[in-house]
Structure 1
Amino acid sequence: MTDIAPVREEVPEEVPPLLRNRDFLLLWQGAAVSGLGSNASSVAYPLLVLALTGSAADAGLTGFVALLPQLLFQLPAGVLVDRWDRRRTMVWCDVLRGLALGSVAATLLLHRLVLPYILVVGFVEGTLTVVFRIAASSAVPNVVHPSQLAAALSRNEARTRGAQMLGRPLGGLLFGIGNAVPFVFDTASYLWSLVTLLLIRSEFQAERRPRGVPLRREVTEGMGWLWRRPFLRTTTFLIAGSNLLFQALFLTVIVMARGHDGSSAAIGVMFGVAAVGGVLGSLVAPAAERRLSMRTVVIGANWAWALLVPVLLTVHDPYLIGGVYALMCFVGPVWNVVISAYQLAVTPDAIQGRVLGAVGLISFGAIPLGSLIGGQLLSGLGAVSTVWVLTAWMLLLAVTASLSPSVRSAPALTGATATAAEPEPAPAPTA
């Protein structure tokens, strides 16, 4: 089965611009502040574990456990997001994530924090984040007009990259003030997100009718829908491969910066510099979505990453490392907006959560493996050899993208939005 090519849909005059869409702005603002806190704690976690144990392997294990829910719970989370009220689900995720991060800050202040507790909290928060992310992504097409979907995704990308640009330096700075401070800040960010969600009036899903389908069948529906679309299937596996690389690379550049006498604050600034590239990429993404074919985006992105990874070995200053990393981050938003807009547009709302769960299982499921593999490679081979291993892996992905028939024959995006001509209905239940 081939993918359905999107067509351009003009914005009607009566549709207000995104900047006057109250509910979209509330959703955007809440996620922006929450993302700022999450990025601050994402830098603080490995720094905290390295301070407690001095082991890169332990830091890698912490990242693996925190991200393991990305592998375990994508499909069931997608089913629940399609069954439950999406906004209410997001509210409870924020409440519980805030409590989890607050407990880390409390145990740190009481000098009771140990590695096993960090692992437990990381796993719980990671599980809730999987559910929240799928619900939030599924909600976007219901909060904005279809003709504004690509623009909304571009602004979400800018939000994500901006949170990285500011949050990671802030995490290093706050950690330098006190080990518990980044986690206190992240707890407050979840509370802010909770307030914005409670103020939103729009429904986050279309009207649902009971289908009488067993839960086990619902779990597999999203994967089946994705598997029957060669282009989306191939790009999902390519995303998985690059996600594995970037998660391993995240820990690698921290170790490299430490080896060049980089302070906690300098490491935070390094990731902030890298995030600038992501912000700029998100600003370019709408124009790329209008002008570039999906084939060009997929093949070009993979080759850009493959050529940039070994450049890390030529620089020895944390800020220059951040500059190289920024070039890699520039490419990511273009990929995300182009491919995500297409996928959201051709997916029926009734199975949106399950399809996102299937995509997340494959693409995000590789992230915990990247953290674990990165830690083991760094412990066994050192930073330089690890970079060469990751370079070889990225070259393999670039070659695969270039030779893939489904990528080479990918449909072209012809407009500023990715609106499906006639989306295929959800699979009917069978006996």
Structure 2
Amino acid sequence: MTQTAPVRRTQAGPTGSLWRNRNFMLLWTGQGMGTLGPRVALVAMPLLAIDVLHASTFQVSLLTLLGWLPYLLFSLPAGVVVDRLDQRRTMIACDLGRMLLLLSIPVAGMAGWLSLTYLYLVVGTTGVLTVFFTVAYRSQLPKLVRSTQLVDANGKLGMSDALAEMGGPAIAGLLVGLVGAARGLFANAATYGLSALTLGLIKVPATAEPASPAQRVPFRTAMAEGFAFVRRETVLQRLLFCTSFCNFFAMAASSVQVTFMARQLHASSAVIGLVFSCAAIGGLLAGAFANRLSSAIGSARIVWVSMLAPGPLYLLMPAARPGWGLIMFAVGLAAFSANSTLFNSASISYRQRVCPPDLLSRVSSVYLWMSYGAVPLGSLFGGTLGTTVGLRTTMWICVLGMWGAALFVLFSPLRTTRDIPGIPTKAEEQP
């Protein structure tokens, strides 16, 4: 397949540091709050189901399923809808919807009519709104920053994900311990309210918007256009396969990591939590230095380097032994966290660069559908494998699969390309 010429929307945003870009800082704050909320709910909701509703193990597992299922069912239509709406207002609406849904849970609890069925409904509906929010903010970013700032901006957004991953479970545990699982959701809802407030203050530059609305085509045709664009772009295909393949094995590993550390490494629950918190530091550091690394290595080359280089450190996880060996596991997990942040910031920047503005949401939705659709399948694979061949063997298979995903981008046009095509240098962007 041949690669089409990159298409770029009109440049928007100031030429200076992102720290002085008011619109980006507001988007970053809103995205951070919108990312923290689901991380807190990921722990608070199961605890609510267990402590208040006395749910069984299977009933609790359905909460996780319902949290991920919307990516399979709604990602593709979300891309079409978001392309046809104001993305900033879409994010605000999703935040307000999620806030009201979460607020309804403690209210229902105090009224005495909270049930598992209602909890399932809230989790599923909140998941749908999260899908729309994710598609919208990834399409909004290129309107607020210049093309030379995309990697830096996506790296900072990746830092928010790492912070939420590190702090979300701890915040949820603290809230549940202080005020209970149901009342703790008041604070969870507040994160969405803050997100909506900051997003409402964003002023999208007029030059960043299309001069006239795109021609409306039938809904199914519009969804197919996203797939067609990915099929035409060799690099986008490879990025999609790499992300989906890596997500599959990463979730397989995630499904047995806690059990592996508890049973094979004899770690306590407190130590396991510390390992995960330390591992998230890798993502924070990668996000902080994403722009510098991209400039030094190349904005396109960094995609396959970030997948290939940390791979040997993944092997520390299955090789870890009890005691101080937990440090090996934490280092391996931190390397993967760094890889995820750096790869995502570079690959998402590439996608935002080469996609026409009126197709970006639909292309992003294809990525969400396939890469996040691999998550429940990977989790099922990991659990089955851990039961049949043992935990340590499963971890070896998973980390090799995670590292092997690099082959999709290593043997692609990216291997001989230093920078993302068409991105001007900072000097060229000066008026």
TM-score (norm 1): 0.82
Deviation of residue 221 (structure 1)? 0.5
Distance in 2, matches of 1:254 and 1:318, equals 12
2:204, 2:133 → 1: CA distance? Answer: 17
1:247 partner amino acid = M
Match of 2:359 among 346, 351, 354: 351
Distance 1:220 1:275 in 2: 37
Q: Distance in 1 between matches of 2:176 and 2:4?
A: 48
Residue of structure 2 equivalent to 1:229: 233
Contact 1:238 1:397 in 2 (8 A): no
What's 1:163 paired with? 164
Query: 1:278/1:14 Cα in 2 relative to 1: closer, same or farther (>3 Å)?
Result: closer
Residue among 238, 243, 265 paired with 1:239: 243
Residue 332 of structure 2 is aligned to residue 327 of structure 1: no
Is the contact made by 2:246 and 2:401 (CA closer than 8 Å) also made in structure 1? no
**Structure 1 residue 396, shift from structure 2 partner:** 4.1
For residues 60-108 of structure 1, give each alpha carbon's deviation from its aligned partner in whole angstroms, at most 9, with x where no partner exists.
4322221011112111100011111111111111111112222333445
Which residue number corresponds to residue 130 of structure 2? 129
Query: Which is bigger in relative contact order (C-alpha 8 A, separation at least 6)?
Result: 1
Q: Is this contact kept in 2: 1:236–1:363, CA < 8 A?
A: yes
CA–CA distance in structure 2, aligned partners of residues 318 and 269 of structure 1: 10
Matching residue's letter, 2:39: N
Q: What is the correspondence of 1:79-158 to structure 2 with a 5 Å cutoff?
A: 79-108=80-109, 113-158=114-159
Equivalent residue number for residue 362 of structure 1: 370
Aligned length: 411
The separation in 2 between residues aligned to 1:99 and 1:117, in whole angstroms, is 14
> Which one-letter code corresponds to 2:203 in the other structure?
R
Separation of aligned partners in 2, 1:301 and 1:130: 31
Structure 2 residue identity aligned to 1:191: G
Q: Which residue of 2 aligns with 1:385?
A: 390
Per-residue deviation at 1:186? 1.5
TM-fit CA distance, 1:314: 5.3
Alpha carbon RMSD of aligned pairs, Å? 3.4
**Take 1:36 and 1:400, find their aligned partners in 2: how far apart are those partners?**
28
1:180 paired residue number: 182
| Worse overlay, 232-241 or 167-176 | 167-176
1:149 is aligned with what amino acid? L
Q: Which residue of 2 aligns with 1:281?
A: 286
**Is 1:192 matched with 2:188?**
no
Contact 1:308 1:324 in 2 (8 A): yes
Distance 1:49 1:321 in 2: 31
**Aligned-pair distance for 1:348?**
0.9
Q: Which whole-Å CA distance do the structure 2 matches of 1:112 and 1:325 have between them?
A: 42
Q: Work out whether residues 382 and 394 of structure 2, in 8 Å CA contact, stay in contact via their aligned partners in 1.
A: no
Q: How far off is 1:2 after superposition? A: 3.4
Q: Is the 8 A contact 2:223 2:362 kept in 1?
A: yes
Task: Give me the whole-angstrom Cα distance separating, in 1, the residues matched to 2:106 and 2:415.
Answer: 48
TM-score between the two structures when normalised by the length of structure 2: 0.82
Greater mean alpha carbon deviation, residues 310-319 or residues 191-200: 310-319
Q: Is the 8 A contact 1:64 1:371 kept in 2?
A: no
Cα displacement string for residues 121-170 of structure 1 (whole angstroms, at most 9, x for unaligned residues): 22111111111111000000001122222211121112221222222322
Structure 2 unpaired stretches of 5+: 425-431
What is the alpha-carbon distance in structure 1 between the residues aligned to residue 226 and residue 357 of structure 2?
A: 12
Question: What percent identity do the matched residue pairs reach?
Answer: 31
Deviations 1:325-374 (A, max 9, x none): 22321211111122111111111111110111111111122123334445
